[in-house]
Chain A
Amino acid sequence: MQRELSIILENKPGALVRVVGLFHQRGYNIESLHVDPVTDLTKFRYIEERLDLKLEENEVSHLLIKTTVSDNLLRQILRQINKLIDVLLAEENLDT
């Protein structure tokens, strides 16, 4: 089924392409992709708590990726993305 992944990553050169590249390397397909620098931090305060850090405006980007995968593959993709050094957090977006 189609899922949406929500990924918070450092807003710096080369970070986005590591995530996008990983999809191709591991044989997954991206169906839709949206990325923005995070200017309104109110939605992301939970990340600060979870990772015990303080975010500043425009310091990180929020990436939304839609892809069609099974449960097992989703877990594998998320683990691979979370392994990337510039990624703070990758999880399934269950709000959609």
Chain B
Amino acid sequence: MKIAGNDILIQSLIKEEVEYIFGYPGGAALHIYDAIFNQNQIQHILVRHEQGATHAADGYARATGKPGVVLVTSGPGATNAITGIATAFMDSIPMIIISGQVAKHLIGTDAFQETDMIGISRPIVKHSFSVESAEDIPEIVKQAFYIATSGRPGPVVIDVPKDTTSPDELFDFVYPDSAHIRSYNPPISPEKKQIERAVEAMLKARQPVIYAGGGAINSNASSELIKLNDILDFPVTNTLMGLGVYPATHKRFLGMLGMHGTYQANMAMHNADLIIAIGARFDDRITNTPKLFAPNAKIIHFDVDQSSVSKIIEANIAVFGQVKDSLQEILNELESRRNEIDEKKLDDWKQQIKYWKEKHGLDHKMHLSESNEHPIMPQAVVQHVYNITNGDAFITSDVGQHQMFAAQYYHFDEPRKWINSGGLGTMGFGLPAALGVKLAFRDSEVVCITGEGSIQMCIQELSTCTQYNLPIKIININNEALGMVKQWQDMNYSGRHSESTYQSSLPNFVELVESYGHVGIKIEKNSDLKKGLEEAFAIKDKLVFVDVYVDPDEHVYPMLVAPNGSLKDMWLSKDNKV
């Protein structure tokens, strides 16, 4: 059967088992939109801004592990998608972005809504394709999905000139079974010798720490990690991106590490004799000053991406390959040497960590009193949400203090439940990401923990939630300021709050969300907090926006001392530096 380019594109996406396209129509994409109209296998989700489309697809991808698909028009449609593409790129999220382009004969003429999407997106994609002819579309789509999802995942752009999707020219449609790209061979199996060396180091270690990040989630390595540590019994810390890959309620879990990591996690890393990095990349929020990082530690680094290893911190033992496969190899090797494990060897180290945790660990009972003598504490909001949802919700967040409080106080026991922009730190991510998660998991509780700054960056997506009836919960931790900016200004700029407050210009959020048909709840008093949140979560069929006014002066602690600090140098409160 012969079909036109626009149908070839949509049929190709159907072959890739795409459920949702997140997009926004426009001139250069109209042929494609017509092909969407003429089928019913893929549902298109009409967002209110292309940035929302990319974050929604991103949230969908993070929660499901499947690539998110975005469709935008040329020019402003394409440029509006850029922030979301960069967000996905920094966190290695599989995503396919189809951008309309002006017809081939107009390229380079400054035509209406023409922009060089391939050029603009080049530094923030894993790869990109420009369609030359409708006949090439099946091969390109196949390759794009293969590239986006294999190796270290990432976003792939397909730029589609309007004439290549013209309904007037028909072609045979044959979809390839597999993709082969001769210059791209991502799956490398770990070297046996490196596995042996890694196990040897693990058996010898007296002060080891496992440090697992987003790569372990991308590789679906959670069960291998848990099994491995059932044998090793090492302390485990997760990066912001890795939360959930090791159960937060496990007795060996130290909490998150890094800039706002727990005291015990940062101290354990600093004093370790062996750091086992699993799908983590020694980002600057983790290492603090690289030269001062973990001075006595030997590093084993598991990663699928060779360029992530020894980039910041030199690895002593590098194990390249999908971390899931590598950990399985380690497990096999360890099983055969199980008799060599001396459990007592770690006793002192475990005592030390217990001491650190008791001395300066996060106080999870803090500020839960219902007294109105003090303002609502943001940490208490997260703790109540954790209790009400039994720790079982998908939590998306935006960027800032609320994000750190959510990471610190919501205990993630499973991977893919914590959805946030760790690498790029994109405000505006939370709401559209929650929308994408909810579409994938209609029966699950999906909560966006946000702040009054971030939520206003993509607040238009409240309308999308109305259109598709997506009853998510939005918890707006409202401190009437750009809290993290203000915290830095308090700490580093003698409290000069340059442009970090809004001077009474905030909207009435309750009325705002109600105008979209949602439910708004405002909470201002401690005595109303628990009750108000319970009321919100009791509503199952509507989006509920809870606007919680919290202590505007609260800071996030611990906080690493920077610049020139190490991982042991932390602020633990406004007046306690260790």
**Are A86 and B183 neighbours in the complex by a CB distance under 8 Å?**
yes
Is B126 an interface residue, CB under 8 A from the partner?
Answer: yes
Tell me whether B122 and A21 are in contact (CB under 8 A): yes
Chain A residue nearest to B124 in the complex (CB): A25
CA distance A90 to B307 in the complex (A): 13
B-side interface residues, number (CB < 8 Å): 19
Q: Which residues of A contact B314 (CB under 8 A)?
A: 72
- The answer to whether the Cβ of A74 comes within 8 Å of any Cβ in the partner chain is no
Q: Report if A79-B126 is in contact (Cβ < 8 Å); known contacts: A51-B182, A85-B184.
A: no
**CB <8 Å contact, A85 and B305:** no
Q: Could you tell me if B183 and A76 are in contact, using CB atoms closer than 8 angstroms?
A: no
B130 and A14 contacting across the interface, CB-CB below 8 Å: yes
Interface membership of B300, Cβ < 8 A? no
Let me know if A45 is at the binding interface, CB within 8 A.
Answer: no
Expressed in whole angstroms, the Cα–Cα distance for A13 and B549 within the complex equals: 54
Q: Is the CB of B183 within 8 A of A79?
A: no
B501 at the interface (CB under 8 A from A): no
Chain A, interface residues (CB within 8 Å), range? 20 to 34
CB closest residue in chain B, given A14: B118
Does A53 sit within 8 A of B, measured CB to CB? Answer: yes
* Contacting residues, chain B, for A86 (C-beta < 8 A): 183
Q: Which of B147, B305, B306, B314 has the most CB of A within 10 A?
A: B306
Given contact pairs A17-B122, A18-B122, A21-B123, A75 touches B184 in the complex (Cβ within 8 A): no
Interface-central residue, A76, A85, A88, by most chain B CB under 10 Å = A85
- Given the contacts A14-B118, A72-B310, A75-B310, A9 and B123 also touching, CB distance less than 8 Å: no
Q: Give the complex CA separation of A83 and B314 in angstroms.
A: 19
Contact A9–B183 (Cβ < 8 Å): yes
A85 close to B306 (CB less than 8 A): no
A41→B147 CA distance, assembly (Å): 28
- Complexed CA–CA distance, A79 and B310 (Å): 11
Report if A76-B307 is in contact (Cβ < 8 Å); known contacts: A51-B182, A53-B182, A85-B183.
yes
Closest 8 CB pairs of A and B: A79-B307, A85-B127, A88-B183, A79-B306, A25-B123, A85-B184, A80-B307, A53-B182
- B interface residues (Cβ-Cβ under 8 A, vs A): 118-119, 122-123, 126-128, 130, 147, 181-184, 305-307, 310-311, 314
Provide a sorted-by-A list of 14 A–B residue pairs whose CB atoms are within 8 angstroms: A14-B118, A14-B128, A18-B122, A21-B122, A51-B182, A53-B182, A76-B310, A76-B311, A79-B306, A79-B307, A80-B307, A85-B126, A85-B183, A86-B183
